[in-house]
Each structure stands twice: as C-alpha cells, then as structure tokens.
Chain A
C-alpha cells in the first residue's frame, strides 16, 4: 500500500526490504483511541514527512516507535523483516528519535557532547583516548555534511549546525549497534531555523537516505516538507488521512487531509494594509542602534502599522524583542516612547505601553502549572481591583470564559492547566491577554507562528493584524518569512555590517525577504 515510487526504486539503492512495515499500530488511553494507523511502510533510501495538526496522533506514533509507548494489542508490523515485539527496544531497534528541544551542553565542545552517548575508545585503565574520540566525531559530523572541528564549542555553532550535531550524534548511536539501515526520526527539526538553515538540515537528511538509511521528518511547515520529502504520511484523528509522494501531492489536498476541511492557506496579504504608512499616524516607538553588527538604524513605529524585523539567524532579531522590553541589556539599542527613552527593566517598558509575546511560551510567557484563568487574568489584578481588595472570582471567571469562546480556545475549562493547551491555543491566550491590557499600545511578537498548526496560525496572524489600529502597532520579529510577508506593512531585514533593508508595498513577498536576507550572507562571504 506504500508508494509506487518507493516500490520502484528502493531496490536500486539498498535492497527492497523495508526497514519498518506497520500493518497496524494503535494506542488508547482510557478507552480513548488516539492512534490507529494502518499500512505505514518505511524503506531505506527515502526521506518521509509525517504531518498532522496538534492532537492528530503523530507524537504518539513517534513515541511508540521510540519505545516510549507500548501500543495496544493487535498492533503488528515487521522491523527489518522480523515481526515486532512491542514495546520496541530502542537499544537494538536501530531507530533513533532526535527530539525537538536541543539536548546539547552549550559550553562544551562537540566531542564532549558526543561522549555523553558514546563509550568506546578507552584504554585499558579506562582513560579516554581523545584522538580516537575526535576522529570518530569528525566522521560522524561529515556523515551529515558538517565540516567543523570536534574541538569547537557548541556555543560557537549556529542553530542549524547544532541541529546537525544532534542528528549526527543520534545517527552514530544507531550505527554503533551495527544495524545496516538506520531509521532516524526528526521531531520538528526546523522549528527554530531560518529558511536557508532549514535547507542545510534537509540536505543532511538526504545524505543519510543516500547512505542507505531512512528519515522521518515530523513537521508543521507544510511547504518545507513537501519540497524535501519523497513521501508523505498525514495523520488526522489517529488515522492515516493521506499518503502520497512529496512533490506530486497537491497542497490543498494535504491541508484538507490534515484538518478535515480546507484552510485558506494562500500567502495572500491580510486585511487592510496601509497605503501610506507613518504619514499621519502617531509615532509610538522609535528604535535606534549604534552597534556595528546587525545595525537596525532608526526604526519608527507608528499607529496602525505592523512592522517585521528579520534576518538570518544570529542577526539579532531573536534578542531584539527582549532588549526592547529591557529583560536583556540594551547595549547599543535606544528605545524611545512618548514618555522618553526607556532605561529600566520590563516593569517600565510595560508601563510605557509595550507588551511582548515571547517565542518560548512555557519559559517566558506562562506559569505552566497555573490555570488558564490565572494566566489570563494575572495582568488584570493590579488594574481591575484595588491592590488590597479581594479578587473578584466571578468577574475573572466570566472574563476567561468569554475569552475562551471569543478566541475559540480549545481548553477543558478556565481551570485547565496552561501547559495542557496546545501551542496554538497558548498563543491565542497570550494575545488575548496582551489585548486585555488597555494601555498596551505596541505589541512585540517574537516568532508568533512557531510551533502552532496552520489553522491557529491563520487566527494568530489576523489577530496581530487586527491589533494594529489607529493608535496601536505591532512589531513581529522572527524568521517565518511567509508569515512576515503576509501580515506586515513593511519588513526590515537586518544585515551584517551594513544598513538594514526595508521592504514594503509590492516589493514585499516571502521570496523577496528570503532573497534579501540571503544577499546579506553572500555579501559577507
């Protein structure tokens, strides 16, 4: 039932035995079936894409393959021709999952990070033989196309290179078990990467496939997956809703399979963009920098505007939101509002009408163990009630219920723990909370679309667009060029060692942003 394409050419590469054939794999929690997928076939020499909205069962499937879950009885399949005995034993299965969060010790060298999982080259008394360790590490790095010295610290690597180190390490781990055809599962490997870095990671997966392995990429960004995967599996409600070759598949068909309905996924611009930005509108925020590197020059943000700030990874657009808020040292950045230049921390910035939507929601946006109500109303406590007055339970509850239905947030109740919500729903609560603060005039969104599915992405972007009315503005920092082109009036592309380029009007598109950002790199090299 797998692709004709896989059937045809697999023999030509590494023999026609599939690494993994799942006739059926199902998993239920308390009689509720979250996964019931049939006929999945993974052959050596191919890169597979695994797509699905939040809650579609793709994480459960990955966890079953990682040996974390034991599937329900009735699940059956073959691993390299042998019937599978669940749960899979990771040590001998030849399957490795590269997790979404980078598990690297940043201050240590690459070889040190390899040593964590490798115990091989020891002399008789157990001393580490460094030359062998370094050699083996170099080999593993080359396997994914990364040409760095094993002595380099992880801190000196770019985000893409770090992802490659993790992939190389997992791959080596499998190869040490002497399995002929390794299966690597990458869980959202490109979530934090800019466009051209993404291509590097995909090139590495292609390399692995060409060497006789197979790769499954779990991903949200559909365009990426379609372009770089040989074959797609789309899960919905735990079942395989679509299967087909990557390039040959119609994108509408794939999206419909993911969500059970068509989503307006076109890259068309949103809402009423201003024809004449900054002309008659009130100036809300002025950023100016004096730094040599990633000089943002002068950026004036006026009411009604959505301004994007982007660049390649490391150009500073990832630190900028936190510098504007004063959580990190502003160094050469000057931030001015109506009240004058900001010199203090986030308390002052919030009082001046700024609000931030951090990209890393669990660590910077929410109290994850707190309830939706507590997280949503925390900003109201100082305004809606007098400081020593008792909290109004009913008022907060009603406001939270209203927010949940207005924003179509999928939550059990206002008392559900914040961390049980999916990324998209957390993002909606976060935006609703910022809007709820009356005095918020400039909303700074850092990677607002990161880790959320296509449908939620749509809602989040239109909410940002809608926030920018006459006297309010939005700054979007990040590397999702598609989203920037969609939602922004103008996009400022930061460049290394030269003045930034501003794209607006008709010259603003996903391609033009990518082109402009890449030109920067070319100029430097």
Chain B
C-alpha cells in the first residue's frame, strides 16, 4: 500500500472493495481524452485496485486495429496492451461495437454489455471516473 498523498483512513483500500468504474465515452478519433482516461484507469489498476473499464458509444474505437487514425494512437496501443497483460477486460456497449473486422484485432478480452448492464456495473462501483 502506497501512501504518497498521506490520506489513508477509514475508507482504506483492499481486495474486497468494489471496483473503480472508468466509463469512457470520448471519441479517440477526435479527442485525446479517451486515451487519457485509459491511462488513468491503467494507473489505478496498477495500484492493486480492481478497475472496471466501460466503453460506450465512440469510445469503442479505443480497440480499433489501426491506431494511426486515433489521437495519441501510439499511447493507446501501449496502454491497452498493458491492460491486456493485467487481464482486465473491456466492457463495451454492445450496440457500439464497430462492424470493422479489424476491430479488436489484438484479441483483448471484451464483454459486450447492454445499457442495463452498464447501469448495474455503475451501481456496483465504489468510485467513478467518467470521460
């Protein structure tokens, strides 16, 4: 357990804690914020927290096979590879998954989810980061 901010108290972390939900709807084709959200979520995951990534709408393009057309595409490729190494799945809004056969060419674990399921995931979280 790290203590860089010196704030540990009654709400301390632990493996039994509910996840931090990182919900991304920013479009990585037009905004750097989708990549930033991925980076932040990855950083939180590295701190021994369970993180639940939820991609809605155009954020599903974070898993595009070709990252050349994405803002900060090289970073996205690197960060999502790290997410894959950690075995953290992406919950992706079912209706937002692109038809492109090259989508998720790297074979990241993807869990297609409905709007109702996304609402459940959010209810189960203890902290929320929405981009």
Judge: A and B partners, yes or no: no
List the interface of chain A (C-beta within 8 A of B): none
List the interface of chain B (C-beta within 8 A of A): none
